[in-house]
Every structure is written in C-alpha cells, then in structure tokens.
C-alpha cells in the first residue's frame, strides 16, 4: 500500500487479515534489539516502526483480540532475529506467535530486494497453485532459486528465510 503503509494503518489492517505480508525494512540494532519493521512515518504518536513490544501489547496482552492471520510473512532483513534470553529469542516472530499467528516466514540475515521478491513469488505460487504446505513451498522456492538460470545461486541471497510454526 506504499506511502499509506503507516503504523496505524498496518496495525488496523492486521487485525482482520488472513494473510499478512510485509515487504519493508527490518531492524535489529541497539535501539530495536528485539526487532522492528519500518513503515511510513506519520504523526508523533507513531514513529513509523512496528516493534515486537507493540505487537505484544496490541494483540497478545490481557483482554486483547488475537490476530486472525494464518500466515505472516516478514519479507525484510533480520525479521527472525531478536534479543537472546534464557527462554529463547525475543523478537518479532515470538510476538506474532504470542498474538495467535500459527505460521510465520522470517529472515535470519540481510536479504537483497530483487532475489527476495523472486523467492516470495515462487513461495506463493507453490502455496496457491501447487497446494504445497508452507515448509515445502519455501523449500521448493529455494531450490528454484538455486537451480534456475535466472535465479541467484548464492545462498546468502535467498536461504535466510525460514518457516516457523505450523507448516500446513
């Protein structure tokens, strides 16, 4: 949705979406050590970053309604990373699972835009046309990138993505 992809608009649309795909920039740094997604900036109340904490507070807190999405794809750099605590990685993926999302696709390192777009096109084709489960759809998309003359054979370009949660 381009310039309209503000934090408040995305949060509003996420509430009832069956599939959420965010293709943007992911942040894991000294400020957003638990992870954040960069969105279009708007007013002072919303800094343009949807953080793992905001997801927890907005959707997984007491008396909050869980997200309805069956799949969330965070097509951005480092979206599967976060702060490592004794109970595991605390980040965007954990927040989304706590918010009721059964399946996620996240990345473990920085990814190039063009190769990611190609990988995601293959992934969704495998799900909706070939009726593969999410794990097989991602595997086949990665194999396509590896073996296709038009794809990038360098695993750093496409192997960052992983399916977390339910594969079906």
Residue showing tokens 């795909």: 21
Judged by average pLDDT, the poorest of 63-77, 116-130, 147-161 is 147-161
Q: Percentages helix, strand, coil for the chain, rounded to the nearest 5? A: 35, 25, 40
**Model's pTM, two decimal places?**
0.87
Q: Are 19 and 61 in contact (CB under 8 A)?
A: no
Confidence band of 131 (pLDDT split at 50, 70, 90)? very high
Phi and psi angles of residue 59, each rounded to the nearest 5 degrees, phi first? -125, -20
Tell me the longest C-alpha to C-alpha distance in the chain. 51
Beta strands in 19-119 (DSSP E): 19-23, 25-27, 36-38, 49-51, 71-75, 82-85, 88-91, 103-107
Write out the H or E segment, with its range, that includes residue 164.
strand 161-165
- Across the range 66-86, mean pLDDT stands at 83
CA pair distance 89, 111, nearest whole angstrom: 20
User: For 6-52, what is each residue's pLDDT tens digit?
Assistant: 888 888 899 899 999 998 888 766 555 567 888 887 766 777 888 88
Q: How far apart are CA 137 and CA 126, in angstroms?
A: 5
Structure tokens at 104: 């996620």
d(CA 156, CA 135): 19
Closest CA to 118 of 157, 160, 168, 77: 157
């Amino acid at each position: 949705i381009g310039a309209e992809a503000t934090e408040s608009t995305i949060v509003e649309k996420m509430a009832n979406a069956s599939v959420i795909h965010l293709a943007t920039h992911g942040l894991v740094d000294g400020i957003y050590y638990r992870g954040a997604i960069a969105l279009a900036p708007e007013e002072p109340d919303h800094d343009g970053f949807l953080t793992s904490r905001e997801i927890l507070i907005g959707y997984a807190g007491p008396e909050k309604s869980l997200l309805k999405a069956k799949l969330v794809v965070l097509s951005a750099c480092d979206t599967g990373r976060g702060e490592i605590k004794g109970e595991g990685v605390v980040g965007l993926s954990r927040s989304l699972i706590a918010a009721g999302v059964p399946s996620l696709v996240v990345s473990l390192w920085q990814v190039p835009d063009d190769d990611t777009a190609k990988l995601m096109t293959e992934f969704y084709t495998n799900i909706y046309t070939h009726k593969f489960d999410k794990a097989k759809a991602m595997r086949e998309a990665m194999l396509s990138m590896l073996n296709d003359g038009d794809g990038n054979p360098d695993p750093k370009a496409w192997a960052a993505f992983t399916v977390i949660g339910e594969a079906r």
